[in-house]
Amino acid sequence: MRIGVLGAGQLGRMLALAGYPLAKTFVFYDMSGSPSAGLGEVMVDREGQYLNDFLSRVDRVTYEFEHLPVDVAEKIAAEKPVHPRPRALQICQNREAEKTLFGDLGIPTPNWKIATDAKSLREAAETLGCPVVAKSNTEGYDGKGQAVLRSPEDAEEAWSSINHSRLIVEKFVEFRREVSIIAVRSESGELAFYPMAENTHHDGILRYSIAPAPDLAIDVQEDAERYMKALLNEMDYVGVLTLELFETADGLVANEMAPRVHNSGHWTIEGAMTSQFENHIRAVSGHPLGNVAARGVSCMINIIGEHGEIDRILELPYAHVHLYNKGERPGRKLGHVNILADSYEELVWRVKNCAQFLPGSPEFQSSLTSKG
Ligand code: AMP
| Same-domain check for residues 210 and 345 | yes
CB of 178 within 6 A of ligand 1: the answer is: yes
Closest residue CA from atom 6 of ligand 1: 143
100 occurs within a structural domain: no
CA of 183 to the centre of ligand 1 (A): 21
- Listed residues 171, 188, 223: the one ending a domain: 171
89 occurs within a structural domain: no
Mark 81-101 as b/e (b = at least 16 C-beta within 10 Å): bbbbbbbbbbbbbbbbebbeb
In the predicted structure, residue 371 carries a pLDDT above the cut 60: no
- Listed residues 66, 82, 98: the one ending a domain: 82
In the predicted structure, residue 73 carries a pLDDT above the cut 80: yes
Cis peptide before 212 (omega within 30 of 0): yes
pLDDT digits (tens, 9 = 90+) for 270-286: 999 999 999 999 999 99
| Same-domain check for residues 294 and 351 | yes
Q: What is the DSSP letter of 176?
A: S
- Listed residues 151, 171, 191: the one ending a domain: 171
| Same-domain check for residues 115 and 222 | no
50 occurs within a structural domain: yes
CA of 170 to the centre of ligand 1 (A): 9
Q: Which of 180, 198, 255, 365 to mutate to test the pocket of ligand 1 (most atoms within 8 A of CB)?
A: 255
Lowest-confidence region among 62-71, 75-84, 117-126, 134-143:
134-143
Position 129 scores a pLDDT of 97
| Same-domain check for residues 249 and 314 | yes
CA of 143 to the centre of ligand 1 (A): 7
Specify the pTM: 0.96
Beta strands in the chain (DSSP E): 2-6, 25-30, 41-44, 60-63, 112-115, 132-136, 146-149, 167-171, 177-185, 191-193, 197-202, 205-211, 239-248, 251-258, 297-304, 319-323, 333-341
- The domain spanning residue 166 has which CATH number? 3.30.1490.20
88 occurs within a structural domain: no
- Identify the CA nearest to 214 among candidates 368, 354, 58: 368
| Same-domain check for residues 211 and 342 | yes
257 occurs within a structural domain: yes
CB of 145 within 6 A of ligand 1: the answer is: no
CA of 146 to the centre of ligand 1 (A): 9
CB of 204 within 6 A of ligand 1: the answer is: yes
For 7, the domain range is 2-82
- The domain spanning residue 11 has which CATH number? 3.40.50.20
pLDDT digits (tens, 9 = 90+) for 44-63: 999 889 999 999 999 999 99
| Same-domain check for residues 128 and 228 | no
Residues 6+ apart with CB under 8 A from 320: 269, 270, 337, 338, 339, 340
Total number of domains constituting the chain: 3
12 occurs within a structural domain: yes
87 occurs within a structural domain: no
